[in-house]
Structure 1
Amino acid sequence: MKKYIKEHLAVKIFILTAVLLFAVSGFIYGMVAFGVSKSYLAELDESLDESTKNLITQLTQVSESEMETMLKMYALEYGLSITLKDKNGKDLKSFGQIEYKLDPDTDSEKSQISKGITKTYFIQRKSGPDYQILLFGTKQRANAALNSLNRILPVLIGISIFISLVIALFYSRYVTNPILKLSKVSKRLSALDFQIRCPENRSDEIGVLGENLNQLSEKLEEALGELKEKNLLLQEDILHEKEMEQQQLAFFSAVSHELKTPVTVLKGQIQGMLYGIGGYKDRDKYLKRSYEVVDSMDGMIREILSVARIKSSGFVLNRVRVSLNKMVQGVIRNLEDIAIDKGIQIHTALLEHAEVMADEAQFEKVLSNVIGNAVKYTPDNGNIWIEIFREDGKLVISVENEADKIPEEEIPRLFDAFYRRDRSRNRKTGGSGLGLYIVKMIIELHGFCCQFHNTENGVEIKITCT
C-alpha cells in the first residue's frame, strides 16, 4: 500500500486534501462550539449594559417595593440573576432564574462568577438609602446550543467526511490530470515516439511546460531524422569504401596474375637463349618474341599507371568545350591504316556542332579505346557504324560493329578489369583487359553513362553525354 501511494501522485494529493479537509472541519466545529458561548456572553454583556443603565435611572425614583418588583421582572425578562446589596456590599435579596437563599456566610459573587457575566451597578436614590446590584449572565443558553451540536455531531462528521472525500477526489483529479498527461507524453518521448503532442488549451505554467515539450519533441524529431539521414549516408560511404577496397584488392590480384604470366614466359625465353636449349638457339626469333612480350607488358603497365592516376584522390578533370565531331574524325584517321589492312568499311553519320564539356585528353582516350576495339574485333571486310545524334536533348555517341553477339550474362562483366571473353586471344587480340575498365572510369568521372548491347548486325556501345 505504501509503495502504491508513493508511486501515484493522484493518491498522495487525494489523501493530503482529505486530511486537510478533515482538520479544517474539526477546527471549524471547535470554533463554533467555543464561539457560541463567547459570542452569547459578549452579546449579553453589550445589551445588558445599556438596558441596565436605563433600569438604574428608573430605580432612583421609585419606592423600595417597586424597586424589588422591577428587579424581579427585569431578571426574568433577560434570564439573569440579580443580587441586591446595600451600599456596604451586604447581600439583601436575589432575583431571577437562579434563585437561592443566601446563607449568612455565602458570597454571592463567588457562587455566580463561573456562570457567565458579572457586573455591579450603584443606585443612588433621591430619597432613602443607596443600594448596589450585582448582575449575573448565565451560560445556560450557550450550553443548550452546545448540547444540540453534540447531539448532531455524528451526522456532521459523516457529512464532513463525505464532502471532504468528494472534494479531495475532484481536486486531486483536477490537479493531477494535466500532470499525468505530461507524464504520458514524456514517456512516449523517452521511447523515441515524437508524434505525440501535449494539448495546447492551457495558458498557465503547465500549458507552458506542455508547449516546451512539444517544441522539444519537434526538435528531437528533426535531430533524429538528420541523424538517420547521416547514418544512412555513413552506411553508404562505408559500403562504398568496402566496395572500393574489394575492387582494389581484386585489381591488384588481377594485376599480379596478369604480370606473372608474361614475366614467366620472358624468363623462360631468356633462360633458353642463354643456355642454347633446342629451338632457343635461334636467338633472333626468340628475341623478337621476347620484345613482343616486353612491349605487351609495357602497354599493360602504362594502362595500370593510368588507372592508378585516375583513382588517385588528387586527380581532377580539366573540362573544356570539346567538339565531338572533330574528335571522332581524328580517332578514325589514327585507326584508318589498320581498318584498310583488314578491309573494314567505317560508316559515319556525325551531327555538326556537337559539343560537350569534357577533359579532352581523357575523353579522346575513351573514343580511341571504343573505336579501336570495334576495329580490332570486327572480322576482315566487315563494317563499323559511328553516329553522333541527339536523344531526349542529350548527345549520344554510338559505335556499332559487325561481330559475334555476346551472351547477355557476360555483358555486365565486359567493363571489369582484365576480363576477356576468350582467354586464348589474350595479348594478341584480347589486349591488356583494362581498356573498357578505363573507359567506364572516365565516363563515370564525367557524369556520363555507357551502355553495351547486342544488335542485328553485331554489338553496339552507346555513350550518352549529359
Structure 2
Amino acid sequence: MNLIVLICIIVSQLIFQALYFEKYYYNEEKKILENEINNFNKFLETNNNPRDIMDYIQNIKRKENVDISLMNSNFKTEVGMESYMGGSYIEVKGSSTGKIYKVLLDQISNIEVKKNDKITVYGIIDKYGYVIPLEIHINGHDINSSYTLIPEVVLDKTSSINTKNIVELNGTVEDKIDESPGYFTISNLGMYLENVDKGNIYLNNEYIGKIKIPNSINEFLLGSKKINNGYIIAVSPLAEVNAVLGVMNNYYLIVFLVALLVVVVISFIYSKILTKPLIEMSSIAKKISKCNFTDKYKVKSEDELGELGGALNLISSNLEESLNDLKNANKQLKSEMEIQRIQEEKRKELISSISHELKTPITIIQGNINGIKSGMYSENVYNDILEETNRLNELVMEMLEVSKLESPTFKLNKEPFDLGAVVLKEIDKLKGIAKEKSLTINHNNYDELVVIGDEKRITQVVQNFLTNAIKYSPENENINIDIKKEKEKYIFSIENFGVSLNEDELSRIWDSFYRKEKSRNKKFGGTGLGLSIVKRILEIHNSNFGVESGVNSVKFYFDMDEWKE
C-alpha cells in the first residue's frame, strides 16, 4: 500500500512539472515584474532625490532580483543605474559622516574584504553616491594603485559622473555586493531589443515579453510601462526552465528507483521483524503467570501491536497492584493481630496487677478483722485497717483517673498559667518531706513563665515527678530542677541523683503498675499508676517528654508551648 502511494505521488509530480511548471513559473515572474513596475511608478511620483531612487532600485534588485530604470523614448537611462553601476562594489560607511558610499571594483572585483575592514579611497563620486576609485587602501595596504580604474571612454559616456568631484573617503567596509548582469542588459537595452519588441513597447501602454541577448543563452523577462515621454523598464532573468525540468525529471526518476528499492527492502525486513514484539509479549505473559511483574513491554507504536502491548502492561500493573494490596492487607492483619496479642497480654498483666494490688490490702484488712473477732483489740489494728482502706481508695481513684484520661470525650481546660509559679508552689509543699531525707532541691526563682495548658493537670505532672525524685533519692543527695526557653517552648526538667535505670527499666517506666521497686514495700508506697497518668496528660498536651538515665542519675523532662497574647 505504501509503495502504491509513493508511486502515485512521484508520477503526479512528474505530470505536473511537464504540463504546468513552465507556465506557472513564467506567470509568477510576470506578476512580480508588473507589481514592481507599478510600485516604482508610485515611488517616482513622490520622490525625486537621486540617492533615494537609487536605494529603492537596489532594494528591488536584492529582494526580487528585478532590475528597473526610467528611460526616454530612445531607451537611454534617465533615472536608474548606469552600466558601470551593475558591477561589483563595496559598501563603505564614512567615518566622519556615517553615510554609506558604494565603491566600484570593476576589474578588481575578486578583491577579498570583510566587514569592518578599514578602507581609504581616492576617487570620483557621482550624484548617486557611487565612488569610482583612483586608489584603494584596505587596512593600510595599497590595492593596485598603479592601475587606471576609470577608462576615459567610460567617463565620456556617463552623464552622472563629474570628473571634478574627486573625494577622499575614509571609513569601514559594511558589505561587498556581487556583479549584477541584469543592469548591464538594461543599461544597453537599445542595443539588444529587436524591432518587434520595440514596436510592442511603443504601441502598448504596458508590455511584458521575453528577450534574449545576442551570442548568449541567457533569457530575460522584460516589462515596460509608458509614462509621460518615457518608459519604466524592468528586467528579470529567466532560468532555463527546460534545463531545470530535465534535471528535476532525472532527479525524481532516481528518487523513484531508490524509494522503490527502499520500500522493497523495508517490506522484507518488516515482515521478518513483525513477530519480534509478539515473541516479546509472549515471554512477558509467561512471567506474569509466575507472578513476576518486573518486565514491561515497551510500546513503540500506536498500531494494533502497540495497543496489545499496552493492554498487556495494564493487566500486569493491575495484577501487581492487586497482589501488593493483598500483601499489604495481610501485613496489616498480622500487625493488628500482633497489636491485639500485645493488648491481650497487657490486659492480662493489668488484671494480674490490679488483683495483686487489691489482694494485699484486702488480706491485711481481712486478717485484722479476724483478729478483732478473736478478741484482739488494739489501736494498731484499727490503724492498719484505716491505712489499707485509704490505700484501696487511692488505687480505685487513680484507676478511675486513668480511665477518665483515656476516654475520647475527655477535654483539657487549656488556659494561660505561670509554669514557674506552679513548680515553686509544689517545691514549697514537699520541702518538708525532702528535709526529712536531708535532700537539697536546687532551683531558680523563676520569673513569669506563662504557658498555655491545663494548669490542674500540669500541676499533677510536676507533683508526680517531684514526689518520685524525693521518694527514690538516697539521703543527702541533690535534686536539680530547671526550666529553660527554646524558641517558642519552655522545657521543664528534674534530675535526682544516687539512682539509675537500665534499658529494660527505661522502656517500661511509663507502663501501668510498673515500679522500679518491685516488692511494693510500704516504704516506697504508691500504686504504680502515677507515671502512666503523667504520660497520658502530656500526650494530650502534645508535649515532647521523656526520661534519661546517667551513671548515677535519672532525669525526667517535658515541654510546654509559650503563651502569646
Give the TM interval when normalised to the shorter protein: 0.5 to 0.7
Distance between the aligned counterparts of 1:415 and 1:215, measured in 2? 51
Answer yes or no: is 1:266 the counterpart of 2:365.
yes
Distance between the aligned counterparts of 1:395 and 1:418, measured in 2? 30
Indicate how the Cα distance of structure 1 residues 434 and 425 shifts in structure 2: closer, same or farther if over 3 A, else same.
Answer: same
> Counterparts in 2 of 1:386-397, with a 5 A limit?
386-390=481-485, 395-397=490-492
Which structure shows the bigger proportion of residues in helix conformation? 1
Match for 1:443 among 520, 532, 538?
538
Match for 2:548 among 444, 452, 456?
452
Answer yes or no: is 1:244 the counterpart of 2:343.
yes
Maintained 8 Å contact 1:387/1:399: yes
Following superposition, the deviation at residue 326 of structure 1 comes to 3.0
Following superposition, the deviation at residue 399 of structure 1 comes to 0.8
Maintained 8 Å contact 2:421/2:446: no
Answer yes or no: is 1:325 the counterpart of 2:412.
no
Match for 2:456 among 338, 361, 367?
361
Match for 1:403 among 483, 498, 501?
498
Distance between the aligned counterparts of 1:446 and 1:261, measured in 2? 35
Answer yes or no: is 1:345 the counterpart of 2:444.
no
Please report the RMSD computed on the Cα atoms of aligned residues, expressed in angstroms.
3.4
> Counterparts in 2 of 1:40-59, with a 5 A limit?
none
Following superposition, the deviation at residue 287 of structure 1 comes to 0.7
Match for 1:185 among 268, 280, 284?
284
* One-letter amino acid matched to 1:348: H
Distance between the aligned counterparts of 2:414 and 2:327, measured in 1? 36
Alignment partner, residue 195 of structure 1: 294
Residues 224-244 of structure 1, C-alpha deviation per residue, up to 9 Å, x if partnerless? Answer: 555555554444333223222
Alignment partner, residue 509 of structure 2: 414
The alignment covers a number of residue pairs equal to 293
* One-letter amino acid matched to 2:362: V
SS in 2 for 1:193: coil
Residues 113-151 of structure 1, C-alpha deviation per residue, up to 9 Å, x if partnerless? Answer: xxxxxxxxxxxxxxxxxxxxxxxxxxxxxxxxxxxxxxx
Q: Which runs of 5+ in 1 are unaligned?
A: 1-168
Indicate how the Cα distance of structure 1 residues 411 and 178 shifts in structure 2: closer, same or farther if over 3 A, else same.
Answer: closer
Indicate how the Cα distance of structure 1 residues 210 and 405 shifts in structure 2: closer, same or farther if over 3 A, else same.
Answer: closer
> Counterparts in 2 of 1:80-95, with a 5 A limit?
none
Distance between the aligned counterparts of 2:416 and 2:330, measured in 1? 39
Distance between the aligned counterparts of 2:282 and 2:447, measured in 1? 73
Distance between the aligned counterparts of 1:230 and 1:443, measured in 2? 33
* One-letter amino acid matched to 1:400: E
Following superposition, the deviation at residue 263 of structure 1 comes to 0.2
Distance between the aligned counterparts of 1:312 and 1:209, measured in 2? 57
Following superposition, the deviation at residue 246 of structure 1 comes to 1.5
SS in 2 for 1:385: strand
Distance between the aligned counterparts of 1:414 and 1:178, measured in 2? 65
Following superposition, the deviation at residue 434 of structure 1 comes to 1.9
Q: TM-score under structure 1 normalisation? A: 0.54
Residues 262-302 of structure 1, C-alpha deviation per residue, up to 9 Å, x if partnerless? Answer: 101100001101221xxx322x3211111011111111111
Residues 207-257 of structure 1, C-alpha deviation per residue, up to 9 Å, x if partnerless? Answer: 112123334444554555555555544443332232222212211111001
Further displaced range: 404-413 or 303-312: 404-413
Distance between the aligned counterparts of 1:290 and 1:299, measured in 2? 14
Following superposition, the deviation at residue 369 of structure 1 comes to 0.8
Maintained 8 Å contact 2:297/2:313: yes
* One-letter amino acid matched to 1:185: I
Which structure shows the bigger proportion of residues in strand conformation? 2
Indicate how the Cα distance of structure 1 residues 215 and 390 shifts in structure 2: closer, same or farther if over 3 A, else same.
Answer: farther
* One-letter amino acid matched to 2:507: P
Following superposition, the deviation at residue 444 of structure 1 comes to 4.0
Indicate how the Cα distance of structure 1 residues 232 and 377 shifts in structure 2: closer, same or farther if over 3 A, else same.
Answer: same
Answer yes or no: is 1:373 the counterpart of 2:373.
no
* One-letter amino acid matched to 1:403: G
* One-letter amino acid matched to 2:550: N
Indicate how the Cα distance of structure 1 residues 413 and 268 shifts in structure 2: closer, same or farther if over 3 A, else same.
Answer: same
Distance between the aligned counterparts of 2:359 and 2:503, measured in 1? 31
Indicate how the Cα distance of structure 1 residues 219 and 324 shifts in structure 2: closer, same or farther if over 3 A, else same.
Answer: farther
Distance between the aligned counterparts of 1:430 and 1:214, measured in 2? 68
Distance between the aligned counterparts of 1:388 and 1:196, measured in 2? 60
> Counterparts in 2 of 1:31-110, with a 5 A limit?
none
Residues 428-457 of structure 1, C-alpha deviation per residue, up to 9 Å, x if partnerless? Answer: 42321222232234334444331131355x
Indicate how the Cα distance of structure 1 residues 317 and 241 shifts in structure 2: closer, same or farther if over 3 A, else same.
Answer: farther
Maintained 8 Å contact 2:350/2:512: yes
Q: TM-score under structure 2 normalisation? A: 0.45
Alignment partner, residue 382 of structure 2: 287
Distance between the aligned counterparts of 1:322 and 1:225, measured in 2? 52
Distance between the aligned counterparts of 2:446 and 2:557, measured in 1? 15
Indicate how the Cα distance of structure 1 residues 170 and 412 shifts in structure 2: closer, same or farther if over 3 A, else same.
Answer: closer
Residues 319-372 of structure 1, C-alpha deviation per residue, up to 9 Å, x if partnerless? Answer: 555543233233323324433455543221476565555444333322211111
Answer yes or no: is 1:204 the counterpart of 2:204.
no
Distance between the aligned counterparts of 2:425 and 2:335, measured in 1? 41
Residues 54-81 of structure 1, C-alpha deviation per residue, up to 9 Å, x if partnerless? Answer: xxxxxxxxxxxxxxxxxxxxxxxxxxxx
Maintained 8 Å contact 2:547/2:554: no
Maintained 8 Å contact 1:325/1:351: yes
Indicate how the Cα distance of structure 1 residues 231 and 348 shifts in structure 2: closer, same or farther if over 3 A, else same.
Answer: farther
SS in 2 for 1:415: coil
User: Which has more radius of gyration?
Assistant: 1
Indicate how the Cα distance of structure 1 residues 221 and 449 shifts in structure 2: closer, same or farther if over 3 A, else same.
Answer: farther
* One-letter amino acid matched to 2:546: C
* One-letter amino acid matched to 1:370: F
Distance between the aligned counterparts of 2:432 and 2:339, measured in 1? 43
> Counterparts in 2 of 1:149-168, with a 5 A limit?
none
Distance between the aligned counterparts of 2:332 and 2:377, measured in 1? 64
Answer yes or no: is 1:462 the counterpart of 2:557.
yes
* One-letter amino acid matched to 1:453: S
* One-letter amino acid matched to 1:327: V
